[in-house]
A and B are shown apart, each in its own frame.
Chain A
Amino acid sequence: MVHLGTNILFAGNNFVRLLEGLWTTVWIAICALIIGLILGTGLGILRTSKNRPVRILLRLYLEFFRIVPSVVLLFLFYYILPRQLNLNLPAEQMAVLAFALWVAAEFSDIVRGALISVPQHQKESGLALGLNGWQLFRYVLLPQALVLELPATINLATRVVKTTSLLMLISVMDVINIGQQIIEANRQTYPNGIFWIYGIIFLFYFIVDYPLSLWARRLAAKQH
């Protein structure tokens, strides 16, 4: 009997395993995003401060993460953390850490951009009403900045999801790694399996990222 190549996707528990791999991928992206956004908010606020050395330091932090490609970043953490700092984390947690610091860097720039683009008259009106520094931040700057930065933040999230494809390089059991295992295990039975497995993984990433980028675009269009 001639079998269809697609059978490899549903043979045994292959599809369930791929979905589990996808969940690992998405979970790591979510963790990195949550930690990174919290940290990035703090850094972004600091980047609008009047303290010059702090601003320069944070700018350098941002530029470092902008210059180093994510593959290299992962390997830097993978080799240097255990050897230099004696910090032996499981690969998943290390990936979360590396991505979170990267997200924090990128997000700090988004936060800073949003904070400085709140119109000057808004701040002045707030001051005229007698708001103090914290109140001004909490009731005037923050709500407006959040709206301004949302599209860029969602775009950053899609980038994080795409970057999780690199997790297989540091042997995290993500969707690509599991896909490769399935391909290897079924090489005899399904010689064309590789086409379908990589095809479905391609589709998985698209299904996760496309709604996000559509959402970001809608929001951005509404703001103009």
Chain B
Amino acid sequence: MDLSIMQQAIPQFVKAFELTLWLSFVGILGALLVGVCCSLLQYFKVPFLGKVASVYVELFRNTPLLIQLFFLYYAFPVIGIKLPAQVCGIIGLAFLGGSYMAEGFTGGFNGVSQSQLDAGKAIGLNKFQLARYVVFPQGFTLSVPALAANVIFLIKETSIFSVIAIPELTNTALDLVGLYYRSNEYLFMLVLAYAIILIPLSIILTILERKVRYGSFGN
């Protein structure tokens, strides 16, 4: 390994690092939004839209991001929808992530114990009051670990953006490897960059899981 080569590449990696973080942030925000909407549609069993949400969740959860991105970036221009690569990446991440987040929220809502629901009904709450005061507060808490795990998963998925030539971390590193043929140095920096982002997150995830376990009452 050659330290000076790594030093020279730092500015490029910093730029890629920022782009990865930014795309992840916007994509995950979108994913949370899509996920909340879908899980609410499913929870209240909204006619038609609830079914649409279920179909969407199954379709996107069971297909790879790579092919979703190819579809957005290469196939959509054929039917007249042309989007810049980064927009495709964000949309892809938001919709892939949305399906996972929806599962996370739904899992949380289903995790609220029957005794809590029965108690709510016994004091005369109607369906919406039950959702507002019993299911959602506890359900959201219960779904936090799943959501945090999804966040980590989605940040890792941004590495697939490299196939549509978005200059994020993986793409930048592979470009450098191709240019200078110093695979050890650049790949080491790449792994290091992901470690810097993901290790703190995975520690936070462990803490959250422990907190939620304390918070699960009524079981």
* Residue A137 at the chain B interface, CB threshold 8 Å: no
B26-34, B44-52, B135-143, B189-197: which lies at the A interface?
Answer: B189-197
> Does B63 lie at the interface of the complex (its beta carbon under 8 Å from any beta carbon of A)?
yes
What's the least CB distance linking A4 to chain B, in Å?
A: 14
Bound Cα distance A162, B75 (Å): 20
State whether the Cβ of A206 lies closer than 8 Å to any Cβ in chain B.
yes
Q: Enumerate chain B residues within 8 angstroms of A192, measured Cβ to Cβ.
A: 78-79
Which residues from 140 to 168 on chain B have a C-beta closer than 8 Å to any C-beta of chain A?
152, 156-160, 162-163
Q: Say whether A12 faces chain B, with CB atoms less than 8 Å apart.
A: no
Q: A160-187: which residues lie under 8 A (CB-CB) from chain B?
A: 162-166, 168-169, 176
Contact of B62 among A71, A158, A201 (CB under 8 A): A158
Is B179 in the interface zone, CB < 8 Å from A? no
Expressed in whole angstroms, the minimum distance between the Cβ of A7 and any Cβ of chain B is: 15
A213 neighbours in B (Cβ, 8 Å): 58, 61-62
Q: Say yes or no for A1: interface residue by CB 8 A criterion.
A: no
**Given known contacts A67-B199, A72-B190, is B78 in contact with A194 (CB within 8 Å)?**
yes
The contact size tier of chain B is 35 or more
**Does B71 lie at the interface of the complex (its beta carbon under 8 Å from any beta carbon of A)?**
yes
Task: Verify B170–A71 contact, CB threshold 8 A.
Answer: yes
In whole angstroms, how far apart are the Cα atoms of A206 and B68 in the complex?
12
Give the chain B neighbours of A66 by CB distance below 8 A: 152, 198, 202
Chain B 69-85, CB-CB to A under 8 Å as 1, else 0, gives 01100110011000000
In the complex, the answer to whether B79 meets A195 with C-beta atoms within 8 Å is yes
In the bound complex, do residue B160 and residue A71 qualify as a contact, i.e. CB atoms below 8 Å apart?
Answer: yes
Over the window 64-99 of chain A, the binary record of Cβ atoms lying under 8 Å from chain B Cβ atoms (1 yes, 0 no) is 001111111001100110011000000000000000
Contact B74 A69 (CB under 8 A): no
In the complex, the answer to whether B71 meets A202 with C-beta atoms within 8 Å is yes
B residues near A61, Cβ cutoff 8 Å: none
| A198 within 8 Å of B (CB atoms) | yes
Chain A residue numbers with a CB within 8 Å of B156 are 69-70
Task: Determine if A165 and B67 form an interchain contact, defined as CB atoms under 8 angstroms apart.
Answer: yes
B59 in contact (CB, < 8 A): yes
Cα separation A164 to B190 with both chains bound (whole Å) = 21
Is A163 in contact with B64, judged by CB distance below 8 angstroms?
yes
Q: Are A210 and B194 in contact (CB under 8 A)?
A: no
B134 within 8 A of A: no
Most buried by A among B63, B183, B187, B191: B63
Q: Is the CB of B75 within 8 A of A198?
A: yes
Kindly identify which residue among B58, B64, B75 contacts A165, using a CB–CB cutoff of 8 Å: B64
B67 and A198 within 8 A (CB): yes
Give the residue among B64, B68, B170 with the most A Cβ atoms within 10 A. Answer: B64
Nearest first, the 7 A-B pairs at minimum CB distance are A165-B64, A69-B159, A209-B62, A79-B183, A69-B156, A162-B64, A71-B159
* Contacts from A to B (Cβ < 8 Å): 63, 66-72, 75-76, 79-80, 83-84, 158, 162-166, 168-169, 176, 191-192, 194-195, 198-199, 201-202, 205-206, 209-210, 213
